[in-house]
Amino acid sequence: VRLRAIARQAAHTLRQAGMILFDRPDGEGTMRSKNIGRIASLYYLCHETVEVLVKLLRPEAGEETLLGLVCCSAEFSSVRVREEEMGDLEDDLATTAGKVAVLLQSYISRASPASSFSLQTDQNYVAQNAGRILRALFEMVRGLGWAQCARRALDLCKAFERRRWPVDNLLLQFDNVPPDVANCLPGNKDM
C-alpha cells in the first residue's frame, strides 16, 4: 500500500509537469509518456526543469531567453554563490542562475575563472550538465515544430560543443590556435 501511494504521487507529479498522460480523466488508469516526458527521461532532466521549460518556453524565444532557461534548470540548484566570489560576480549576477549564466558563457568563450578554485569547480560542473540540458531543449522545441526556435537552440548546442560562439572565427574551435591569432586571420564566421 505504501509503495502504491508513492508511485501514485510520483505519477501525479509527472502529470503536472506535462510529462505523462493517463487514459482516464480522473488521473487513474494506464499511463503513457508524452514526447516531453520521453525527452526528459532520455536526457535525465528533473521534473522541476521540465515544468519550468513547459511554462516559460515560447516559439519566439531568442538565444538569450533559451540560455536563461537552461541556467534556471533544477540541475544547477547545488551551485551556490559564495562570499569569496562576490568580487568576481556583479551584484545582479549573484544568484544561482546568474552565476550559471556567467560560467556557461565563459566556458563557451574558453575563458577560465582563474581567481577562484571554487569558480573553476563550478564551471566544470556546469559544463558537465549544460550540454545534455541544451540538447533536451533543442529536442523539445523541435518536437513542438517551432523551426526558428529550434534553430536557435541548435546554434546554442553547437556553440557549447565547439566552445565558440556563432559569430567567432572558425579557427577558434581548435585548441592550439590562440584567440588573438585566429581573430587576425580571415575566416568564415558562420557555423
Which of helix, strand or coil describes residue 153? helix
Mean pLDDT of 4-29: 83
Closest CA to 167 of 188, 186, 150: 188
Cell, residue 6? 508513492
Taking all residues of the chain, what is their mean pLDDT, rounded to a whole number? 85
For residue 191, name the pLDDT band (cuts at 50, 70, 90): very low
3-state helix/strand/coil string of 32-91: EECHHHHHHHHCCCCHHHHHHHHHHCCCCCCHHHHHHHHHCCHHHCCCCCCHHHCCCCCH
For residue 184, name the pLDDT band (cuts at 50, 70, 90): confident
- Write the pLDDT tens digit of every residue in 147-162: 999 999 999 999 999 8
Closest CA to 71 of 39, 37, 106: 106
Which pTM does this prediction carry?
A: 0.81
- Write the pLDDT tens digit of every residue in 12-22: 888 888 888 88
For residue 180, name the pLDDT band (cuts at 50, 70, 90): confident
pLDDT at position 177 is: 74
Closest CA to 50 of 15, 3, 11, 8: 15
Closest CA to 140 of 44, 65, 50, 32: 50
pLDDT at position 170 is: 73
